């Protein structure tokens, strides 16, 4: 059995006719939904979730295609669109009786959170994004030699077949390389949690690739429509990022201001896996956000 967050109950929540998500939930009070990143599961929130559950209902799903959630076959290029995945999260919250909730996401989960905020502004009350810029801007800023850090984005954007075979052939090395390279404190991801991440990712290669492939296709289309229409995130937004702007030569805060008029943008000194490396900082930021 995969590790669990102590004190949390686990349920399977149906979000579509053929898709159920694995969801950990605990606490009571105003709801906060936490969405994990790559190559992780809901376990990345274990420290943050335990603290927030003292006075909030905390809901931690595995995204569709990840962890112990269902992994439907992508037949039309939309199965893993961020729009579809965001609708999953709205359905999860509704299953627990919440029509409105605060939402925090890291990495892939942050992209789902952004889409949820754009598509469901009446539902998402507050939004926290950890270590991404919106997808449309991601492709704009990934250029030059420094952008080699994002090589996996281009690999998984390729047509079905080759990326899945290449990654499956060296799954533990592939997924483990990100856990190694993107953290500044290796002890933040202990051996049992690392093993759980690798096992979950190894079992989900096709769906993980489909998620990334959508981000080079239909997700860009959705963002392009929103940008042309002038749609923005209407709720208070907190962004925590490493100093990617300095590394890749772009104005991260400026990019975010175009999408989020009510913005609190912060640069962190920890690595990419900030909810595990610097949980107190993330807890404080989320608590401040939901008070705005």
Question: Which CATH number is associated with domain 9-290?
Answer: 3.40.50.1820
Residue 218's pLDDT band (cuts 50, 70, 90): very high
Q: Which of 57-66, 119-128, 131-140, 141-150 has the lowest mean pLDDT?
A: 141-150
* Inter-residue contact 119 to 83 (CB < 8 Å): yes
pLDDT at position 145 is 82
pLDDT at residue 175 is higher than 80 = yes
* Inter-residue contact 29 to 52 (CB < 8 Å): no
214: which 2 tokens? 């959508």
pLDDT at position 49 is 98
Ranges of each domain in the chain:
9-290
pLDDT at position 227 is 97
Calpha distance 48→285 (Å, rounded): 11
Catalytic residue set: 107, 272
Average predicted confidence (pLDDT) for the chain: 96
- Mean pLDDT along residues 31-54: 98
CB atoms within 10 A of CB 191: 8
Q: Which of 144-153, 188-197, 252-261 has the lowest mean pLDDT?
A: 144-153
Among residues of the chain, what percentage have pLDDT more than 70? 99
CB atoms within 10 A of CB 265: 17
pLDDT at residue 245 is higher than 80 = no
Q: What residues contact 114, with CB distance under 8 A and at least 6 apart?
A: 82, 105, 127, 129, 132, 134, 135, 233, 259
């Amino acid at each position: 059995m995969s590790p669990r967050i102590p004190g949390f109950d686990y349920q399977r929540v149906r979000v579509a006719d053929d898709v159920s998500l694995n969801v950990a939930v605990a606490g009571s009070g105003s709801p906060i939904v936490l969405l994990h990143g790559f190559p992780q599961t809901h376990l990345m929130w274990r420290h943050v979730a335990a603290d927030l559950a003292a006075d909030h209902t905390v809901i931690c799903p595995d995204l569709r295609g990840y962890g112990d959630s269902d992994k439907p076959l992508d037949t039309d290029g939309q199965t893993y669109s961020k729009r579809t995945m965001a609708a999953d999260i709205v359905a999860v919250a509704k299953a627990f009786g919440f029509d409105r909730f605060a939402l925090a996401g890291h990495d892939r989960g942050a992209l789902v959170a952004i889409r949820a905020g754009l598509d469901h502004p009446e539902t998402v009350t507050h939004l926290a994004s950890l270590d991404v810029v919106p997808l449309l801007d991601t492709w704009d800023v990934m250029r030059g030699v420094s952008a080699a850090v994002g090589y996996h984005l281009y690999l998984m954007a390729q047509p079905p077949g080759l990326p899945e075979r290449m990654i499956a052939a060296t799954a533990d090395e592939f997924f483990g390389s990100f856990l190694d390279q993107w953290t500044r404190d290796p002890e933040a991801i202990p051996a049992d949690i690392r093993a759980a991440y690798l096992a979950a990712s190894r079992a989900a290669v096709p769906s993980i690739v489909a998620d990334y492939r959508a981000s080079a296709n239909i997700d860009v289309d959705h963002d392009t429509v929103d940008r042309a229409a002038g749609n923005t995130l209407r709720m208070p937004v907190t962004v925590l990022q490493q100093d990617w702007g300095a590394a890749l030569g772009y104005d991260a805060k400026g990019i975010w201001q175009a999408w989020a008029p009510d913005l609190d943008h912060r640069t962190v000194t920890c690595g990419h896996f900030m909810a595990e490396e610097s949980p107190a900082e993330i807890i404080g930021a989320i608590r401040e956000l939901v008070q705005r």
